[in-house]
Protein backbone atom coordinates (compact mmCIF):
# COMPACT_ATOMS: atom_id res chain seq x y z
CA UNK A 1 0.00 0.00 0.00
CA UNK A 2 1.05 3.56 -0.56
CA UNK A 3 1.85 6.14 2.08
CA UNK A 4 2.76 9.77 1.49
CA UNK A 5 5.00 11.40 4.06
CA UNK A 6 5.82 15.08 3.67
CA UNK A 7 4.76 14.88 0.00
CA UNK A 8 7.01 11.88 -0.74
CA UNK A 9 5.51 8.51 -1.63
CA UNK A 10 6.59 5.19 -0.08
CA UNK A 11 5.37 1.64 0.37
CA UNK A 12 4.02 0.50 3.73
CA UNK A 13 2.47 -2.65 5.17
CA UNK A 14 -0.30 -3.33 7.64
CA UNK A 15 1.26 -3.44 11.11
CA UNK A 16 3.94 -0.84 10.34
CA UNK A 17 4.38 1.97 12.82
CA UNK A 18 4.26 5.44 11.25
CA UNK A 19 7.54 6.39 12.90
CA UNK A 20 9.31 3.32 11.52
CA UNK A 21 8.06 3.95 7.98
CA UNK A 22 9.31 7.53 8.13
CA UNK A 23 12.66 6.60 9.66
CA UNK A 24 13.36 3.72 7.30
CA UNK A 25 12.79 6.10 4.39
CA UNK A 26 14.92 8.85 5.96
CA UNK A 27 11.94 11.20 6.11
CA UNK A 28 12.03 14.33 8.21
CA UNK A 29 10.35 13.42 11.52
CA UNK A 30 11.15 14.01 15.19
CA UNK A 31 12.03 11.07 17.47
CA UNK A 32 14.42 12.26 20.15
CA UNK A 33 13.26 9.61 22.63
CA UNK A 34 13.74 6.88 20.04
CA UNK A 35 10.03 6.07 19.80
CA UNK A 36 9.22 5.63 23.48
CA UNK A 37 6.36 8.10 23.75
CA UNK A 38 8.23 10.64 25.86
CA UNK A 39 9.65 13.48 23.79
CA UNK A 40 6.51 14.42 21.85
CA UNK A 41 8.57 15.45 18.83
CA UNK A 42 7.03 12.79 16.58
CA UNK A 43 3.74 14.60 16.07
CA UNK A 44 2.30 14.18 12.59
CA UNK A 45 -0.79 15.65 11.02
CA UNK A 46 -2.80 13.01 9.18
CA UNK A 47 -4.24 14.58 6.04
CA UNK A 48 -5.76 11.42 4.58
CA UNK A 49 -6.38 7.87 5.80
CA UNK A 50 -6.98 8.32 9.52
CA UNK A 51 -9.54 5.49 9.25
CA UNK A 52 -6.89 2.96 8.26
CA UNK A 53 -4.71 3.75 11.27
CA UNK A 54 -4.93 2.19 14.72
CA UNK A 55 -7.27 3.94 17.14
CA UNK A 56 -5.87 6.59 19.44
CA UNK A 57 -4.02 4.89 22.28
CA UNK A 58 -4.55 5.82 25.93
CA UNK A 59 -1.05 7.31 25.83
CA UNK A 60 -1.93 9.57 22.92
CA UNK A 61 -5.15 10.62 24.62
CA UNK A 62 -3.12 11.55 27.71
CA UNK A 63 -0.67 13.64 25.71
CA UNK A 64 -2.60 15.16 22.80
CA UNK A 65 -5.11 17.92 23.47
CA UNK A 66 -8.61 17.74 22.02
CA UNK A 67 -7.68 20.56 19.63
CA UNK A 68 -4.68 18.64 18.29
CA UNK A 69 -6.70 15.44 17.96
CA UNK A 70 -9.42 17.30 16.07
CA UNK A 71 -6.77 18.67 13.71
CA UNK A 72 -5.69 15.09 12.90
CA UNK A 73 -2.56 15.00 15.02
CA UNK A 74 -1.14 11.59 15.93
CA UNK A 75 2.06 10.51 17.62
CA UNK A 76 4.01 8.59 14.98
CA UNK A 77 5.58 6.29 17.57
CA UNK A 78 2.16 5.22 18.84
CA UNK A 79 0.18 4.93 15.61
CA UNK A 80 0.29 1.93 13.27
CA UNK A 81 -1.22 1.03 9.92
CA UNK A 82 -4.17 -1.19 10.70
CA UNK A 83 -5.65 -1.93 7.28
CA UNK A 84 -5.07 -1.40 3.59
CA UNK A 85 -5.72 2.09 2.27
CA UNK A 86 -4.07 5.35 1.37
CA UNK A 87 -2.34 7.40 4.03
CA UNK A 88 -0.94 10.89 3.77
CA UNK A 89 0.66 12.80 6.61
CA UNK A 90 3.06 15.61 7.29
CA UNK A 91 5.37 15.68 10.29
CA UNK A 92 5.40 18.59 12.71
CA UNK A 93 9.12 19.12 12.19
CA UNK A 94 8.57 19.30 8.42
CA UNK A 95 5.81 21.86 8.97
CA UNK A 96 8.18 23.91 11.11
CA UNK A 97 10.94 23.63 8.49
CA UNK A 98 8.57 24.85 5.76
CA UNK A 99 7.34 27.67 7.99
CA UNK A 100 10.94 28.64 8.69
CA UNK A 101 11.60 28.87 4.95
CA UNK A 102 8.36 30.53 3.82
CA UNK A 103 6.90 32.46 6.73
CA UNK A 104 9.27 32.65 9.73
CA UNK A 105 7.07 35.25 11.42
CA UNK A 106 4.42 32.55 11.90
CA UNK A 107 6.81 30.46 14.00
CA UNK A 108 6.10 32.50 17.13
CA UNK A 109 2.37 31.88 16.86
CA UNK A 110 2.95 28.20 16.15
CA UNK A 111 5.23 27.83 19.19
CA UNK A 112 2.69 29.63 21.40
CA UNK A 113 -0.13 27.39 20.18
CA UNK A 114 1.84 24.18 20.72
CA UNK A 115 2.98 25.41 24.13
CA UNK A 116 -0.61 26.09 25.12
CA UNK A 117 -1.79 22.67 23.91
CA UNK A 118 1.02 21.00 25.88
CA UNK A 119 0.13 23.00 28.99
CA UNK A 120 -3.50 21.92 28.77
CA UNK A 121 -2.42 18.27 28.83
CA UNK A 122 0.49 18.65 31.24
CA UNK A 123 -1.22 17.01 34.28
CA UNK A 124 -2.41 14.02 32.20
CA UNK A 125 1.01 13.68 30.56
CA UNK A 126 2.80 13.70 33.93
CA UNK A 127 0.38 11.16 35.34
CA UNK A 128 0.95 8.90 32.34
CA UNK A 129 4.74 9.07 32.53
CA UNK A 130 4.71 8.46 36.31
CA UNK A 131 2.71 5.24 35.80
CA UNK A 132 4.98 3.79 33.15
CA UNK A 133 7.65 1.21 33.84
CA UNK A 134 10.97 1.80 32.11
CA UNK A 135 13.77 -0.41 30.94
CA UNK A 136 16.36 2.29 31.55
CA UNK A 137 19.15 0.75 29.45
CA UNK A 138 16.85 0.24 26.49
CA UNK A 139 15.49 3.74 26.91
CA UNK A 140 19.00 5.22 27.08
CA UNK A 141 20.06 3.31 24.00
CA UNK A 142 16.96 4.46 22.10
CA UNK A 143 17.54 8.07 23.14
CA UNK A 144 21.21 7.98 22.09
CA UNK A 145 20.26 6.44 18.74
CA UNK A 146 17.48 8.99 18.37
CA UNK A 147 19.82 11.90 18.99
CA UNK A 148 22.41 10.51 16.56
CA UNK A 149 19.81 10.04 13.86
CA UNK A 150 18.31 13.45 14.60
CA UNK A 151 21.68 15.10 14.08
CA UNK A 152 21.93 13.45 10.67
CA UNK A 153 18.38 14.56 9.91
CA UNK A 154 19.24 18.15 10.81
CA UNK A 155 22.32 17.89 8.63
CA UNK A 156 20.19 16.78 5.68
CA UNK A 157 17.39 19.23 6.32
CA UNK A 158 19.23 22.46 6.90
CA UNK A 159 22.51 22.22 5.04
CA UNK A 160 22.83 22.40 1.32
CA UNK A 161 26.27 20.82 1.48
CA UNK A 162 26.86 17.82 3.70
CA UNK A 163 28.72 18.36 6.96
CA UNK A 164 30.22 14.88 6.82
CA UNK A 165 32.09 15.18 3.49
CA UNK A 166 32.36 11.41 3.22
CA UNK A 167 31.27 9.95 -0.14
CA UNK A 168 29.28 7.15 1.50
CA UNK A 169 27.62 9.30 4.17
CA UNK A 170 23.87 8.96 3.79
CA UNK A 171 23.63 12.75 3.93
CA UNK A 172 25.11 12.63 0.43
CA UNK A 173 22.68 10.06 -0.87
CA UNK A 174 19.36 10.87 0.76
CA UNK A 175 17.18 13.87 0.36
CA UNK A 176 16.75 16.42 3.13
S1 LIG B 1 7.26 10.64 21.70
FE2 LIG B 1 9.35 10.48 21.21
S3 LIG B 1 9.31 9.49 19.31
FE4 LIG B 1 7.20 9.65 19.79
| pLDDT tens readout for residues 82-117 | 999 999 999 999 999 999 999 999 999 999 999 999
Is the model's pTM score more than 0.85? Answer: no
Q: How far apart are the CA of 32 and the centre of ligand 1, in A?
A: 7
% of the chain beyond a pLDDT of 90? 67
Q: Which ligand 1 atom is at minimum distance from the Cα of 36?
A: 2
Query: What residues contact residue 78 under an 8 Å CB cut-off, 6+ apart?
Result: 37, 57, 59, 60
Give the pLDDT band (50/70/90) at residue 150. low
Q: Which ligand 1 atom is at minimum distance from the Cα of 40?
A: 1
The helix (run of H) or strand (run of E) holding residue 11 is strand 8-11
The one-character DSSP state at 17 is B
pLDDT at 130: 84
pLDDT at 157: 61
Q: What is the DSSP string of 26-88?
A: T-----TTSSSS-S---EEEEEE-GGGBPPPPHHHHHHS-HHHHHTTEEETTT-BB-SSS-EE
First CA to last CA across the chain, in angstroms? 24
CATH number, domain 2-132+144-158, options 3.30.40.230, 2.60.40.10, 1.10.1040.10, 3.10.20.30: 3.10.20.30
Is the pLDDT at 14 greater than 50, yes or no? Answer: yes
Q: Which ligand 1 atom is at minimum distance from the Cα of 30?
A: 3
pLDDT at 141: 74
Q: How far apart are the CA of 164 and the centre of ligand 1, in A?
A: 26
Choose which residue among 38, 56, 143, 147 to substitute to test ligand 1 binding: the one with the highest number of ligand atoms within 8 A of its C-beta. Answer: 38
Amino acid sequence: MQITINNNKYEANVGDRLLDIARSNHEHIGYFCGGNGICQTCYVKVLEGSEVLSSLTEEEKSILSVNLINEGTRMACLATVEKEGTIRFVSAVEEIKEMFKTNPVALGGYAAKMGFEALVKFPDTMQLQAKREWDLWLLLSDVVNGIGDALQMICRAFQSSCCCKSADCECNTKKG
